[in-house]
Amino acid sequence: GAGVSQSPSNKVTEKGKDVELRCDPISGHTALYWYRQRLGQGLEFLIYFQGNSAPDKSGLPSDRFSAERTGESVSTLTIQRTQQEDSAVYLCASSFLPGAPFEKLFFGSGTQLSVL
């Protein structure tokens, strides 16, 4: 596709269950970011992948959160034993000029996660 694709668009789960969120970046984009956005607020950095380099996991809020990326393609964000405070929109972004002054992030539409 032409843009960043995220699935599912909405996910409702019960407290304690595991969830997996998927991101398909734009083809050729070497950098991939995950962000979390609580209702009406700014974006909270979670994790960054760039090519074959070790990911920057400094934003992951707890060890219940993990993410993987296969090469320069699909990424999955996994949240284990979900808690109500995990409810938020999870946004994925990709870019092809990581580190350049005019790097542009292309965002997906996000996954709205609701933990009951």
Partner 1 sequence: TQLLEQSPQFLSIQEGENLTVYCNSSSVFSSLQWYRQEPGEGPVLLVTVVTGGEVKKLKRLTFQFGDARKDSSLHITAAQPGDTGLYLCAGGTNTGNQFYFGTGTSLTVIP
Q: Tell me which residues touch partner 1 (CB under 8 A).
A: 4, 33, 35, 40-45, 48, 50, 56, 58-59, 91, 93, 98-105, 107-110
Instruction: State the nearest-atom distance from the C-beta of 95 to partner 1, in Å.
Output: 9
Instruction: State the nearest-atom distance from the C-beta of 81 to partner 1, in Å.
Output: 26
User: Are 23 and 6 a contacting pair, CB within 8 Å?
Assistant: yes
By beta-carbon proximity to partner 1, the closer residue of 50 and 80 is 50
Measured between alpha carbons, how far is residue 82 from residues 4, 98, 100 in Å? 25, 31, 36
